[in-house]
Structure 1
Amino acid sequence: MSDTTALRVPPAGRSLWQDARVRLLRNRAAVASLIVLALMTLACIIGPLLTGHAYDRVYQDYVRVPASLSAYPKAEALPAAVQRIASRIRATPSEIVVEADRIRLGLISPRLIDPRLLVYFDRSDLFGPARVIANALDGRRLGLEVPIKRQYFLFGTDSNGRDLLTRTLIAGRVSLAIGLLATGVALVIGVVYGATAGYLGGRIDMVMMRIVDVLYSLPFIFFVILLVVFFGRNFILMFLAVGAIEWLDMARIVRGQALSIRRQDYVLAAEALGVSTGGILKRHVIPNTLGPVVVYVTLLVPKVILLESFLSFLGLGIQEPMTSWGVLISDGARAIQATPWMLVFPASFLVATLFALNFLGDGLRDALDPRDR
């Protein structure tokens, strides 16, 4: 038997963040929600480049058309469209034959048909440039071959004839950017302010919280008007306006958590070892307040999106032709009886995002709870 003994290496400890990551990955609902949010973000970033439509492109011939998986124009709508264009040319259409990608027809007029007027076909959203294939009666009868412009509107179009799919994805960029960035501003300010006030306590806490009470008493619109005067109507306004208000609730939540954490044994031990105030806040107070903070953040993002919609309705937020989910839902609600798809699709994106944020927030709350370590 050998006198030497194998040295056992003690297992490496895991930090709070490593434990939280492991517990989060075990939560199927949270992981699925994270995937949904990632796919939603990816679709909003890349999707508008693949739809084939500009978000501000107006199709005058496709105003309020329903959502469809097949291409427009529909075959039954082509004769009426040809009739409208022929009336502009002051001619009568005849022998209309609809093929797969083109239409053949004749134009009859009591006087000479000016070929330059055929540009009306090209100006239409339904047809391409017309080509004369027959000329009779000294130019009073023309045979035409007109290509058909095929367009896909998977989500339909809005009241101005703009593709709703493209606008929904562009609106997602705006709503998610405003929701996440404004929430980030509120998160940073509120957590730092509330943790500092709760840990220091005493007169400092009293003064800091009275400042919060004073800011609570000021109306939200007052802040917005001041920011409009200084910054104009842009995204910076939205971030500052919402972040300058919503951090107040965050500060109160974090302060309440910090008041209880400051009395814990590990905080008292850190103070006895001479750890600085900043170190205690960074390593003990703030990490142990993340559970309720994360849950509140998942509620704050949709609240910010709704606030943005309210500001846009007042003319202080997003302006046309740019849009957001809140603006699209507001427009769709006004025309829900005639065009329900204008409400259904933006609302579906918003609801899916809210559900994913709630499930992810629950998963993060459980993962960041230090009592589960």
Structure 2
Amino acid sequence: MSVTSAEQSSAPVMGRSLWDDARDRLLANKAAVASMVVLTVVTLLSIFGPMLSPHQFDTVYRDYVKVPASLESYPRLDQIEPGFESVAKRARMKVESYAMVDDKITATVTSRRSISEKATRYFDRSDLFEGAVISNISADKKSATVTADVQRMHFYFGTDANGRDMMTRTLIAGRVSLTIGLLATFVAITIGLLYGTTSGYFGGKVDLIMMRVVDILYSLPFIFFVIMLVVFFGRNFVLMFIAVGAVEWLDMARIVRGQTLTIKRQEYVQAAEAMGVENTGILKRHVIPNTLGPVVVYMTLLVPKVILLESFLSFLGLGVQEPMTSWGVLISEGAKNLQGAFWMLFFPALFLTSTLFALNFIGDGLRDALDPKDR
């Protein structure tokens, strides 16, 4: 059965919401889209990267302290023989002959003391060798043959001053910094949204008292507030986002209050009041949903601010503590070792700056997409 042109013209036309238009404008912003890709890659690396890494973030390799970042495996060829002789010396043995074929070392050793098979633990404890075996022990137990395999390792971001893998620590630090940024932002947005809408909607003395409370909290120095929390509750992960989120909601409250003062004068809000809708219903259905545009934009700008605050606090020693780490902690350590180990600063700073730039570009894209003047 065919449909006539008259029936087609009378069919309802599906409209486009303002959120659809905002989404299309956001996707047309190349900088914002590229930033979303970068942020997604950094997030996925931080979540799944440590699971795939062969190194634990707190494992110490005493033989690989401050080794440079490299795509080649360690140990290098010129490190193997001196390393073997050093381990043999710790076991009170002297290397008489040495040969290596396909990463398998065979050496003849002598000692003034009796050589025991238990001496293999010196080689196995080393980060350079594994699978050591002592054989062909002489009758007087003064000479023997030692065979061992070279233990190959990769440190793509190098190691730190304690011999820990920088790649794993950088990715673990990404987990901490991003989690603190998101959790603190969620706390700040939740408190600020509820506080600002309540203050702006009810107005009068309620608004006056609530805003004076905000002014008083603004006068308190942030560092002093954090130091007090550290003194009373100690240094822990949860404290960080509570401390930051409990301060950063002040800006959010003022922004939402200004939006609420405008929204509550709109005709649809006055119509809801005339129909007898309760205040909680008006806030839930009309006021809060219409403030989400500025809230979303501010959220993308608040996350990098929180990450920078966490980095600053960790740099001062008030944030995340060892053995856990964050980008701020790694940057602090890298700054101390900049002359001899620049990679300790380069990689954490690269991840941090990439994340901050991505979040700022996304915030700019959302601001342009949700701007009422462009609709």
TM-score, length of structure 1 as denominator length: 0.90
Secondary structure of 1:10's match?
Answer: coil
After superposition, where does 1:113-152 map in structure 2 within 5 Å?
113-136=115-138, 138-152=140-154
Partners of 1:306 and 1:154 lie apart in 2 by 26
Give the Å deviation of 1:268.
Answer: 4.9
2:250 is equivalent to residue 236 of structure 1: no
Report the more deviating stretch, 105-114 or 341-350: 105-114
Partners of 2:170 and 2:88 lie apart in 1 by 36
2:176 is equivalent to residue 174 of structure 1: yes
Match in the other structure for 1:83: 85
Return 5+ residue gaps in structure 2 as ranges.
none
Give the Å deviation of 1:254.
Answer: 2.3
Match in the other structure for 2:251: 249
Q: CA RMSD in A?
A: 2.6
Give the Å deviation of 1:247.
Answer: 0.2
Secondary structure of 1:349's match?
Answer: helix
Give the length in aligned residue pairs: 372
Report the more deviating stretch, 198-207 or 178-187: 198-207
Contact residue 131 and residue 149 of structure 2 kept, 8 A: yes
Secondary structure of 1:106's match?
Answer: strand
Secondary structure of 1:155's match?
Answer: coil
Contact residue 288 and residue 370 of structure 1 kept, 8 A: no
Secondary structure of 2:71's match?
Answer: coil
Secondary structure of 2:43's match?
Answer: helix
Give the Å deviation of 1:216.
Answer: 1.5
After superposition, where does 1:160-309 map in structure 2 within 5 Å?
160-225=162-227, 227-228=229-230, 231-264=233-266, 267-268=269-270, 271=273, 276-309=278-311
TM-score, length of structure 2 as denominator length: 0.89
> Structure 2 residue aligned with 1:334, among 333, 336, 357?
336
| Identity among equivalent pairs (%) | 63
Report the more deviating stretch, 260-269 or 35-44: 260-269
Report the more deviating stretch, 22-31 or 268-277: 268-277
Give the Å deviation of 1:88.
Answer: 1.4
> Structure 1 residue aligned with 2:59, among 57, 60, 67?
57
Secondary structure of 1:129's match?
Answer: strand
Report the more deviating stretch, 122-131 or 226-235: 226-235
Aligned AA (1:235)? F
Give the Å deviation of 1:280.
Answer: 4.4
Secondary structure of 2:97's match?
Answer: strand
Aligned AA (2:248)? E
Partners of 1:250 and 1:236 lie apart in 2 by 21
Contact residue 75 and residue 98 of structure 1 kept, 8 A: no
Contact residue 120 and residue 132 of structure 2 kept, 8 A: yes
Secondary structure of 2:129's match?
Answer: coil
Partners of 1:159 and 1:76 lie apart in 2 by 21
Partners of 2:300 and 2:187 lie apart in 1 by 14
2:34 is equivalent to residue 6 of structure 1: no
Report the more deviating stretch, 123-132 or 87-96: 87-96
Contact residue 291 and residue 366 of structure 1 kept, 8 A: no
Secondary structure of 1:6's match?
Answer: helix
Deviations, residues 250-291 of structure 1 (Å, cap 9, x unaligned): 112222333344445555555556555445444554444444
> Structure 2 residue aligned with 1:344, among 340, 343, 346?
346
Give the Å deviation of 1:230.
Answer: 6.2
Aligned AA (2:241)? F
Secondary structure of 1:60's match?
Answer: coil
Give the Å deviation of 1:343.
Answer: 0.5
Secondary structure of 1:139's match?
Answer: coil
Return 5+ residue gaps in structure 1 as ranges.
none
